[in-house]
Amino acid sequence: MRCPYCKFERTRVIDTTHDARGGIRRRRVCVQCSERFSTYERPVLATPLLIKRDGTREAFSHDKLEAGLRVACAKRPISAADIERIIGEIESELQQLGKAEVSSRLVGDRAIAKLKELDEVAYIRYAIVYLRLDDLEAIQGEINRLLNG
């Protein structure tokens, strides 16, 4: 590990702790300048490729999902932490599947289900795009299902 202060190549670990999410915190000291600093390690699990409606494949994009959720949640009483939690849960669920490829519908279905629990207006906004509700009758039908369900 390179020292962030003097850039020397050798450091020594003086303490190691584990957190609840499987990460490791290491307290280090530089062999040359004696400065102390912490590093954090966590396992990186691969997310599967998403198979789009047209058959193309693309990597899961945290930013793309976040942008879609932010648009749906705009001007609603939904915190940034709630949006990040939803994205984290979806990403974790994808990683736990252990598959190399999954349908992009899986991401959309999980996002829409989580929004439905969180905020009905954000759910409708997301559903208009995701479910391709092209006319007012389709949107009204979805709202009626929401009200009756």
* CA dist list (Å): 35 to 3, 10, 25, 26, 141: 8, 12, 17, 14, 64
Which tokens hold the place of 23?
A: 């990460």
Count of structural domains within the chain = 2
Mean pLDDT, consecutive 10-residue stretches, the chain (149 aa), reads 95 90 88 95 84 94 95 95 93 90 94 94 92 87 83
Residues 81, 140: one domain?
A: yes
- Would you say residue 96 lies in a domain? yes
**In sequence order, which residues have a C-beta less than 8 Å from that of residue 113 and are 6 or more positions away?**
none
- pLDDT the model gives residue 21: 63
3 state SS of 16:
strand
Residues 62, 114: one domain?
A: yes
36: domain range? 11-41
Give the whole-angstrom CA distance, residue 25 versus residue 103. 36
Supply the pTM of this predicted model.
0.66
- pLDDT the model gives residue 131: 84
- Would you say residue 138 lies in a domain? yes
- pLDDT the model gives residue 106: 94
Residues 109, 36: one domain?
A: no
